Homo-oligomer: A and B are copies of this chain.
Amino acid sequence: MTAHPRFSLNQATVKYASLAEAIVATKSAGIQAIGTWREPVAEIGLDAATRLIADSGLRVSSHCRAGFFTAPDGPERVASLDDNRRAIDETAALAAAGAPGSAAVLVLVSGALPGGDRDLIGARERVRDALGDLEPYAASAGVTLAVEALHPMFAADRCVVSTLGQAIDLAVDAGPSVGVVVDTYHVWWDPDVLAQIARAGSLGRIASYQVCDWLTPLPADVLLGRGIPGDGHIDFGPITRAVEAAGYTGDIECEIFNEDVWARPHDDVAAAVSAAFTSVVAPHL
């Protein structure tokens, strides 16, 4: 089976697979790159994970995820920043173990409003501060921090960074080793998205492009409403062409949170998302 040469399977799409199983599924579909997640890496330890990656011959397209920067000053914030430094080290190690063309990109989800707090503006400032704190460490590790805007429906309880434009502003403020993720699921609705993709490109800040579709009706747990490209409402043409025109040449991940997808055999899922990518996204590359 062959896959598009720039297609990467984000490991969240086969959430219940171990890293070894995810690698098998990825290769079974002819996919050449994988986006790793921290939990399955931690399950076997970083050394074993880097050996698996090196033996696989796969590229690593990103490592997911760290972040969670909204806690006020105190032990929780210190622990979060420490954890982010560990995640930066992991990212560097996994990318070094991956095949040539691997990207040392750490995806960041910025975090929720702290419990009971309504100061959204203040929470966003704490994200800015944390990125500034971490940037030199990432730079010295050769890692790019990739700020991911999450859909605005997650602004209260998951991620206070809600638009691509806001993510770009944060990246620019933090320094050259901070970029952004363009994830179709999170940004497709934005009237400004094509202009912001162009802006991110002109600033050299597109660190990752992820594709998945928006399904309706939203499921009871809105975190799990992501679909295989082509199954939902998103027009992948304009966004993909904009990312291309902005100069992004890296791997493109498919990252799907969806219980129905997760319940399927891993090889089937890898083949299905690869085929969907070939049919819905690749024509615009």
Given A233-B118, A235-B118, A235-B120, is A189 in contact with B157 using a C-beta cutoff of 8 Å? no
- Decide if A156 touches B233 in the complex (CB within 8 Å): yes
Give Cα A95 to B14, complex, Å.
57
Interface positions of A from 53 to 77, Cβ below 8 Å from B: none
**A121 sits at the interface (CB 8 A):** yes
- Decide if A189 touches B162 in the complex (CB within 8 Å): yes
A interface SS class: loop
Shortest A124–chain B CB gap in Å is 7
Shortest A37–chain B CB gap in Å is 23
Some 14 contacts from A to B, beta carbons below 8 A apart, are: A120-B189, A120-B235, A121-B238, A153-B218, A153-B222, A155-B188, A155-B189, A156-B233, A157-B217, A162-B190, A165-B191, A166-B191, A217-B221, A218-B222
Interface string of A136-148 (1 = CB under 8 A from B): 0000000000000
- Decide if B235 touches A124 in the complex (CB within 8 Å): no
Interface string of A152-169 (1 = CB under 8 A from B): 110111000011011000
Chain A interface size, as a band, is: 20 to 34
- Which residues on A are within 8 Å of B, measured CB to CB? 113, 118-121, 124, 151-153, 155-157, 162-163, 165-166, 188-192, 214, 216-218, 220-222, 232-235, 238
